[in-house]
Structure 1
Amino acid sequence: MSGFGDYFLRQHYAMGAGLGDNLGEISGLIDWERFRPILSDMYRDTKEEGGRPHYDEILMVKMLVLQGWYGLSDYEAERQATDRISFRHFLGYPEKVPDRTTLWLFRERLTEKGKIHLIWEELQRQLDDQGYRIKRGTIQDATFITSDPGHAPADKPRGDEAKTRRSRDGTWMKKGKKSEFGYKFHVLTDKENQFIRRFDTTTASVHDSQIDLSQKGETVYRDKGYFGTVPFASIDKTMHRAVRGRKLSEKDKRRNRAINRTRSLVERPFAVIKRVFHAGHVMVTTHLRAHAKNLVSCFCYNLFNLFRIRTAQRQLSHPS
């Protein structure tokens, strides 16, 4: 971008920034450059080997964050990143915004190269470095992420060759009287600050109790859906449920109420991801792509939560 054009955009941004800009706030919450070494080896367009230069790695990660934060399709992410001044400011005023195809291919490459969890691990390291380590236990729960089943008969094979927008890997699950199709999103948060620390994606028919994200040395809080399974965690705070021939005692009921006061904190990440980020339904067709979408949602939620914590800390330090 020319010096004049860059100056004009920055001045235009400054005119509206006084009204509030959450994107500008979250941009400085983490060190984005620490993601560059993780991603740089995905490309082979060095001067020695030739090839068309790729888009900046940090620019691409920030595009995924914009997409996840506002619930945008690839097309809308490209359009709005080109059109909105706050988006351009967050991206660092690039000369050219990545197009929808480039964004899609970048997400695909992240899964193919196994970079998804390396990005996630780096974010966790940065949270630890800022003093947000797991200290007082963890909470695990799961929620449905729906997808399109399509109109083909239920017994028609989906498979990799299926030429359809409907989910190839999603499955049906009935909870109560309601049936859900798609995936199940499992998360484990820390008790103290409610950051998402670990996550997994399965098809909807996998029972919650089959996934254990806790680790040895931890305390884990879980609802009745996990009753009867022993976690990896050293201290098990799973709610009890009545079984055939044995009702819950008053002691069990008091224990459940005490656990639920802590366990219910995990509902907040789900509420933010579904209601704020509009990520409760995915249009992608495979399990790996749904998992990549969930990673972006978790990444965005942790930035959202870090922004909330930092804002609360500032208000305590400088009360009005």
Structure 2
Amino acid sequence: MNSTAPVQISFALAEYEGKKKITRREVFLGKMEQVVPWSRLKEVIEPYYPKSGKRGRPPIGLERMLRMYFVQQWYGLADEAVEDAVYDSQALRNFMGIDLSRTSVPDATTLMGFRHLLEAHDLTKAMLVEINVMLMERGLLMTQGTLVDATLIAAPSSTKNKEHARDPEMHQTKKGNQWHFGLKAHIGVDKESGLVHTLTTTAANVSDISQTPALLHGQESAVWADAGYVGVEKREDMQKALAANEQTVQWHVAKRRRTLTKLADGWQKSMAQAYEKLKAQVRAYVEHPFHVVKDIFKYKKTRYKGLIKNDAQLNMLFALSNLYMVRGELRP
């Protein structure tokens, strides 16, 4: 066969390429195709990815598996649902570089194995770090100020399963007058860009304030937090962390509402309320990553059991949310 002969495309692909409308999915995938640092992320995973051997089926290409894994995160799909979606969608097959006339879609078991590989070697956290390094090189991630906050992620509370029990690593907590069962995602966010630089994952009953030392990267000079972090600067673990980094931090922690209401009416109360409003305007940036992960990537409930698996997924989700939030600046 002549190697210079033109490559024939399938009838389905030819018909798809001839359509006039560009779907929202195509637009989204096209943008993310341009902003994801594929080569840098492959370098993170490659030392742990199985190599082709003389026996057995050769492993599927690393980039194809990484693209399939990202599709799973962007659209909030289970392993089997991702496989079905790629078979159903020409846009997803184009993104993964799959022509069904020549190759099949990686099955759900292969994707599950890839996911377990990332979890076993803590590679999603390494990818979050690598993406943030790239963003710092581009001048999109600063280090002078940090916003800290946490959000609740629900876990299945049903006991109608094989073990007849809820996930033992998840717990319940009360927020307002409502009880929640699941986990907490605690994040440290860059003040200027709203990008996540640090993440910890705990059960829902762990206090927000206890995770603060782990959310600071050690270079910031100011920290903003809501009223759940009142007194954080006096905690022994926080003082030890700052001393270890030879760090001095200016704290901007919201006052509790009842503290403001107790103030007598007058200029002092007006000034205090104005200052709290200014702090709230700065803290608002911490909600942007939560919005992307929960509302755009549809991550509102845990899919896996245990904190380790969910922490791995959350690291990847927030890494992808960082890219999504600055997609305009990163695209050529």
Shift of 1:24: 0.9
Please say if residues 141 and 195 of structure 2, whose CA atoms lie closer than 8 Å, have aligned partners that are also in contact. no
Q: What letter corresponds to residue 8 of structure 2 in structure 1?
A: F
* Superposed displacement of residue 197, structure 1: 1.6
Q: Secondary structure at the match of 2:152?
A: strand
Q: How does 1:15-164 map to 2 (within 5 A)?
A: 15=19, 18=22, 21-47=27-53, 50-93=55-98, 95-135=103-143, 137-151=145-159, 163=163
Cα distance change, pair 217–123 in 1 and its aligned pair in 2 (3 A): closer
Q: Does 1:265 align with 2:270?
A: no
Q: 1:281: which partner in 2?
A: 301
DSSP-derived class of the 1:4 partner: coil
Structure having the higher Rg: 2
SS at match of 2:9: helix
Q: Provide, for residues 235-280 of structure 1, a one-character-per-residue CA deviation record: whole Å limited to 9, x for no partner.
A: 2121123689x94663543332211111012112212221221101
Counterpart for residue 245 of structure 2: none
Q: Deviations over 1:128-149 (max 9, x none)?
A: 1222121552211110010012
Q: 1:55 to 1:14 in 2, by over 3 A?
A: farther
Figure out how many residues of one structure are paired with residues of the other and give that number: 302
Q: Structure 1 residues 59, 10: closer, same or farther in 2, change over 3 A?
A: farther
Query: What amino acid does structure 1 have at the position aligned with 2:32?
Result: I
Larger mean CA deviation between 135-144 and 117-126 belongs to: 135-144
Cα deviation for residue 23 of structure 1 reads: 0.4
By how many angstroms is 1:310 displaced? Answer: 5.4
Out of 215, 218, 234, the position equivalent to 2:217 is 215
Which sections of structure 1, spanning at least 5 residues, go unmatched?
A: 153-161, 315-320
CA distance change for structure 1 residues 166 and 301 in 2, over 3 Å: closer, same or farther? same
User: What's 2:3 paired with?
Assistant: none
1:239 aligns with 2:239: no
Q: Which moved more, 1:100-109 or 1:165-174?
A: 165-174
Paired letter, 1:35: L
Q: Distance in 2 between matches of 1:32 and 1:11?
A: 29
| Structure 1 residues 189 and 57: CA distance shift in structure 2, 3 A | same
Partner secondary structure for residue 43 of structure 2: helix
CA root-mean-square deviation: 2.9
On the 8 A contact 1:149/1:170 being kept in 2, the answer is no
Q: How far apart, in 2, do the equivalents of 1:267 and 1:222 lie?
A: 12
Residues 179, 119 of structure 1: CA spacing in aligned structure 2 closer, same or farther, 3 A cutoff? same
CA distance in 2, matches of 1:227, 1:76: 44
Paired residue type of 1:83? D
1:215-234 residue CA offsets vs partner (Å, 9 max, x unmatched):
33312211010111125472
Q: Which runs of 5+ in 2 are unaligned?
A: 1-5, 243-247
Return the alpha-carbon distance in structure 1 between the equivalents of residues 291 and 279 of structure 2: 20
> SS of the counterpart of 1:23?
helix
- Tell which deviates more after alignment, 166-175 or 86-95: 86-95
Q: In 2 relative to 1, CA 107–30 (structure 1 residues): closer, same or farther, beyond 3 Å?
A: same
Decide whether aligned partners of structure 1 residues 60 and 165 sit closer, same or farther in structure 2, where only a CA change above 3 A counts: farther
